[in-house]
Amino acid sequence: VSNAGVGMAGPLECQSLAAMQNLMDTNFFGLVRLVKEVLPDMKRRRGGHIVIISSIMGLQGIIFNDIYAASKFAVEGFCESLVVQALRFNVAISLVEPGPVMTEFEEKLYEEAKRADYSRTDPETADIFTNLYLRNSRDVFASLGQTPEDIAEHTLRVIEAARPPFRHQTNAAYTPMAALKHADPSGALVTDAFYKLVFKYDAVLRLSLR
């Protein structure tokens, strides 16, 4: 089971390349190093199961989560490319894709975001992040967030499955978001929906979450 991960949220201009590289080294290359270690023996035994804690953000990017989403997209692409070869050797690969999870991980991320220096971006972007994104994100976590124990139960079901699924989303509230993306290959539908949600109907969003 691969569960190592670090987060990053905020305006792109305010994030250093070194921090981005560190995130990718943990979230993506950490997984790659693990798979390189365990896969050869699983192939020799012709049996095994690799379970990766991914994210709904591996399927859909979210505003101000550019680099974190990129790392999870990389995880998804890596596993999607590898799964067919692995099946030839009777090795299962499963991606567990949570939405928001209420842990110290997120709290630390929010605290760091509140204290961060946004002078390297323009005032409008800084205002959108601090007064729209951070506020709405807290409501989303409070309303839709799962506990770590819930994610552990989902992961256990995937591990114990007779035929392990390749993808398993833990939060049904995010199924429509993923469906929107697949409904329109041009990307226009989901982009328009998110734009309106963030910039036009944010008050309605917060009210509905509460």
Active site residues: 68
E strand residue ranges, 33-182: 48-53, 91-97, 167-169
Count of other CB atoms within 10 angstroms of residue 96: 24
**Alpha-carbon distance 41 to 27, whole Å?**
23
> Is the CB of residue 42 less than 8 Å from the CB of residue 91?
yes
**Alpha-carbon distance 178 to 176, whole Å?**
5
Q: Tokens 């792109």 appear where?
A: 12
CA 204 to chain centre: 24
The tokens of 54 are what? 């991914």
b/e sequence 25-56, b meaning 16+ C-beta within 10 Å: eebbebbeeebeeebeebbeeeebbbbbbbbb
